[in-house]
Amino acid sequence: MKERTHREQAITQQLRVLFKAVQAHSKRVEKLCGLSSAKLWMLHEITSAPGIKVSQLAKVLSIHPSTCSNMLDKIEDRELIYRNRSKTDQRTVHLYPTQKGTKLLSHAPSPPQGKLSSTLQKLSQPQLANLEKSLEVLLLALHFEDDKAAFTPISNE
């Protein structure tokens, strides 16, 4: 087998393992606490920074603000968080965990930000730079035009 063909197969298999690992973690989290791993991470960030704004939360999670708002609706419906609108600027919304949300988080599996994010944090700067550059080349070659894809969390929903 040619070296190039072998590498292509190895990369394909590695990407499959990566996607399956992320999905498996998300399924495990959802089974244990009833939230997707993305929503659990959201609850973790709100609990870590009570009063965080929706725009700040979206930035921390690397998701689009409208996606963030839709996800917040779902965890607010479960009474895990509450929103408090600023009295000085009605467009500004601050987020806080409820007692129920804090309790759920204390019994939730770790890492709350998800396996992929926590693993990326363990890589060195040069490793991150190489991975980013290589993925950029791969994504450009795919010619996949979806501006929202990068700002949508991976989940089972």
Domain CATH number, residue 118: 1.10.10.10
Residue 152 pLDDT = 75
Domain assignment present for residue 156? The answer is no
Report DSSP letters for 94-116, one per residue. Answer: EEEE-HHHHHHHHTS-S-TT-HH
Domain assignment present for residue 157? The answer is no
**pLDDT value at 120 more than 60:** yes
State which residues form the domain around 57.
3-151
- Number of separate domains in the chain: 1
Domain assignment present for residue 62? The answer is yes
Domain assignment present for residue 61? The answer is yes
Domain assignment present for residue 23? The answer is yes
3-state helix, strand, coil in the chain (%, to 5): 65, 10, 30
User: The whole model's pTM is what?
Assistant: 0.76
Phi, psi (degrees; rounded to nearest 5) at 52: -60, 145
* pLDDT per position as a tens digit, 42-87: 999 999 999 999 999 999 998 999 999 999 999 999 999 999 987 7
Domain assignment present for residue 24? The answer is yes
